[in-house]
Amino acid sequence: MKTIKLTPIKKGVAGEIKIPGSKSYTNRALLLAALTPHPVTILNPLQSDDTHAMIDCLKTLGIDVDVGENLIKVNGSIQDVKNKKYRLNARLSGTTIRFILALLCIVPGTKILEGEDGLNKRPIGPLVEALRQLGAKIEYLGKKGNPPLLIKSSKLKSGNIAISGETSSQYISALLMISPCIPKAGIQVDGEQVSKPYIDMTIDTMKTFRVKVKNDGYKNYELLSKGGYKARKYSVEGDFSSAGYFFALAALTKSEITVRNLNPKSMQPDKKILSVLKDMGNVVRYGKNAITLEGRGVRPISADMTDFPDQAQTLAVLAAFAKGRSILSGLQTLPMKETDRLQAVINELKKMQIKTEKTESKNYALTIYGGAPKPARVKTYGDHRMAMAFAVAGAKLKGMEIKDPQVVAKTFSLFWKFLASLGVGVIGAEQKNIILIGMRGSGKSTISKLLADRLKISHLDVDKLITSEAGLDILDIVRQKGWTYFRDIESKIIKKIFLLSDTVIATGGGAIVREKNASYLKKNGIFVFLNASANILVERNKKLSHNPRLTNKKTIDEEIRVLLKKRNILYKKLADITVSVDGKKPKDIVDEIIIKLKEKNI
């Protein structure tokens, strides 16, 4: 398991970052776009594990989704879903599994919906029971009340739904978003509603898609619009959940940090962290699509986290530095997140020699006795927010270490780079190279560039480096000097570039034939094999007249099939990840590679 070491900021800094789009708004927009009968373009979306989980589920249903650098085009809709069997995996995304469950009840087919690891332990029973009230046929395939689920219904009947609001606002959001697709449905909420602002966000997104909802005190909901969703474009605002870590860092280190791409009038509940930071003694200034926090330190606070529980870990870390007693209440949803976040915070603060007291009542609370925390090696429990919250401590406290740092990719893959840009030393965060291997014509050059753009990392094409080194194109190198000379230059270049990190590298089809080349690249690389069929390769190579022949075979067809048989053995042996490219668009191949990289925690 990887561990990174953090070195603190020596003194307060003046910095600026541009925060990515909101995960909550992105996943809502994706679902609503799939419910819209015409194409929808989503601008400034968050590209993360959770949003890709949603995209992947939509694609599994046959809905065409095209992911670009700073936009997502949902070209298809639920009208494209066929009456067949589907198996959908929400991976670790709670929003995805809950939102998609509601959608699966109104589309054809027999559907299995599941998650991974901890997600299958998170409750979903109240949403299942609510959907059953409208005629949904849903069965538990494992423990009652938890995924995986079998969904057999393809439409829902009219009626009123009764559901508890005390477990998760995502249940209400899921029901609201599919309600225009139900003849007539009302939602009645029992008990006290948690995380109310997230419901406001859902209603706000629906309004942008031209469907209005009447919210009667979070107790009753009624549609005021007819005709379904109509938006063609949706712009995602910046994510306050991610911005919170940098505002906290500014407060703790007495820095002045401006976060751009934020809506000062946002409905996002995590915006409330700014009020708490003001109570801690800091100054907040609002600009146009930007917010600046002037850090002046931290002092003990008492805060009700009911509406913004995702900031609880961050504020708990700050409270550890505030001399005196702080109380965070309204933590009842924390034990039901990616991990038991409440217990995880207690465990890690204890390592930092910070005393805490947990109160288990209807509204869980945590008392923190702060003052002089000690550095520790922090376990993240597979939880992105644990990693990012405790990283804030590393901006102040020398010796902090974070285990399993790649978990941040769930919502904020560039977090460590953003942190480093503000002066925090991040040691050991360098990622391995991603090495694309496969036959000539499998798409390595095209895919490598797109993949690097998506991951926002460097890109190299070995064949281009060879032509630059030789001062000739590949055809002339081989004609004038032969294949051995070409392979020697290739080996020389590979020996240099394997020392790089965080780079997508496109290799030539025969680069790994020399064992030393493969060995060098493997030392700091993840091999991704682009697997293309012989027919596809023959078709593509017939168009590559500028490339020299590789054998003495009479036809390209013969040449490809002979080489493929030999080289596929090597490719498959080396591959950490294999992706079939036949019949797929380049952007879909990139999506699949990213998903598989994240499944391997890369």
370 and 354 Cβ atoms separated by less than 8 Å: yes
Closest by alpha carbon to 271, among 325, 209, 173, 200? 200
Report pLDDT for 217. 94
H or E stretch covering 97: helix 94-104
- pTM check: above 0.75: no
Q: Is 442 marked within a binding site? A: yes
Q: Is 24 marked within a binding site? A: yes
Q: Is 299 marked within a binding site? A: no
Structural domains counted in the chain: 3
Domain boundary among 235, 257, 272: 235
474 and 466 Cβ atoms separated by less than 8 Å: yes
Q: Quick one: 295 and 231 in the same domain?
A: no
Q: Is 47 marked within a binding site? A: no
Q: Quick one: 475 and 346 in the same domain?
A: no
Report pLDDT for 554. 81
306-310, 427-431, 450-454 — most confident range: 306-310
Q: What is the CA radius of gyration of the chain?
A: 26
β-pair partners for 293? 257, 284
Written as one string, the DSSP assignment of 586-599 is HHHHHHHHHHHHHH
Integer Cα distance of 92 and 407 in angstroms: 11
Q: pLDDT digit string (tens) for 541-597?
A: 888 767 788 778 888 899 899 999 999 999 999 999 999 999 999 999 999 999 888
Q: Quick one: 507 and 420 in the same domain?
A: no
Q: Is 87 marked within a binding site? A: no
Q: Is 417 marked within a binding site? A: no
- Helix, strand or coil, per DSSP, at residue 189: strand
Does 203 or 499 have the greater pLDDT score? Answer: 203
Report pLDDT for 528. 97
Q: Quick one: 416 and 452 in the same domain?
A: no
Tokens 């949003």 belong to which residue? 51
Report pLDDT for 75. 96
Q: Quick one: 36 and 7 in the same domain?
A: no
Q: pLDDT digit string (tens) for 439-486?
A: 999 999 999 999 988 887 778 999 988 987 788 888 889 889 999 999
Range with the lowest mean pLDDT among 126-130, 235-239, 476-480?
Answer: 476-480
Q: Quick one: 298 and 190 in the same domain?
A: no
Does 297 or 519 have the greater pLDDT score? Answer: 297
Q: Is 23 marked within a binding site? A: yes
Q: Is 509 marked within a binding site? A: yes
Q: Is 85 marked within a binding site? A: no
Residue 191 is part of which domain span? 23-235
Q: Is the pLDDT of residue 183 over 70?
A: yes
Report pLDDT for 226. 80
To 10 degrees, what angle do helices 312-321 and 341-351 make?
A: 20
What is the greatest pairwise CA distance in the chain?
Answer: 83
Instruction: Give me the half-sphere count of Cα atoms (radius 13 Å) on the Cβ side of residue 418.
Output: 24
Q: pLDDT digit string (tens) for 135-160?
A: 999 999 999 999 999 999 999 999 89
Integer Cα distance of 271 and 112 in angstroms: 36
Integer Cα distance of 161 and 77 in angstroms: 26
For residues 2-11, average pLDDT? 90
The CATH number for 518's domain is 3.40.50.300
In percent, the amount of the chain with pLDDT more than 90 equals 73
For residues 321-344, average pLDDT? 92
Angle at 511 between CA 506 and CA 514, to 5 degrees: 150
Instruction: Tell me which residues are annotated as active site.
Output: 310
Domain boundary among 427, 455, 479: 427
pLDDT band at 195 (very low <50, low <70, confident <90, very high): confident
Domain boundary among 185, 210, 235: 235
Q: Is 214 marked within a binding site? A: no
The CATH number for 184's domain is 3.65.10.10
For residues 334-357, average pLDDT? 93
Q: Quick one: 244 and 211 in the same domain?
A: no
Q: Is the pLDDT of residue 54 over 60?
A: yes
Q: Is 205 marked within a binding site? A: no
Tokens read off for 21: 């789009």
Q: Quick one: 382 and 479 in the same domain?
A: no
Q: pLDDT digit string (tens) for 502-519?
A: 789 999 999 999 999 998
Q: Quick one: 521 and 389 in the same domain?
A: no
pLDDT band at 225 (very low <50, low <70, confident <90, very high): confident
CA 531 to chain centre: 26
Q: Quick one: 451 and 389 in the same domain?
A: no
Extended beta strands in 79-230, E state: 85-89, 110-114, 138-140, 149-151, 159-164, 185-190, 213-216, 220-223
Q: What value does the mean pLDDT of the chain take?
A: 92
Report pLDDT for 601. 59
Q: Is 514 marked within a binding site? A: no
Q: Is 254 marked within a binding site? A: no
187 and 206 Cβ atoms separated by less than 8 Å: no
Question: For residue 223, which phi and psi values (nearest 5 degrees)?
Answer: -75, 135
Report pLDDT for 192. 85
H or E stretch covering 287: strand 283-287
Report pLDDT for 432. 81
Q: Quick one: 327 and 226 in the same domain?
A: no
Q: Quick one: 458 and 394 in the same domain?
A: no
Report pLDDT for 140. 97
